[in-house]
Amino acid sequence: MSLYAELDDAIFQAIANQKGSFTEIFEAVEVAAKRTDAASRAAGGSRSKPLSRYVDARLQALRKAGRVQYSQGHWRVRL
């Protein structure tokens, strides 16, 4: 399982719950990350950058992998 799997799952869950803008996704992931501290584990222990940077980086990685799409100002899961 990827180090980022929990963070990716939280992002997919946020998008599935009609959270399409980055701010909405970030707020939903922030709540989930506080429960699991997924971002801290993904960074290898201590969180050296803000959670928003991790969320943005994961969204871009998922976009490059073809799993999500950004269009008309909103993120969507690609089928």
pLDDT lower than 70: segments of the chain: 1-2, 36-47
The reported pLDDT for the residue numbered 50 is 86
Q: What's phi and psi for 30, nearest 5 deg? A: -60, -40
The reported pLDDT for the residue numbered 33 is 78
The reported pLDDT for the residue numbered 25 is 94
The residue ranges of DSSP E strands in 26-71, in sequence order, are 68-71
The reported pLDDT for the residue numbered 35 is 73
The reported pLDDT for the residue numbered 46 is 57
What is the C-alpha to C-alpha distance for residues 32 and 9, in angstroms, rounded to an integer?
10
Tokens in use for 38?
A: 């997924």
What is the C-alpha to C-alpha distance for residues 7 and 42, in angstroms, rounded to an integer?
8
Domain carrying residue 44: 5-77
Total of domains in the chain: 1
The reported pLDDT for the residue numbered 37 is 65
Residue 22 neighbours by CB under 8 Å, 6+ apart: 55, 56, 59, 75
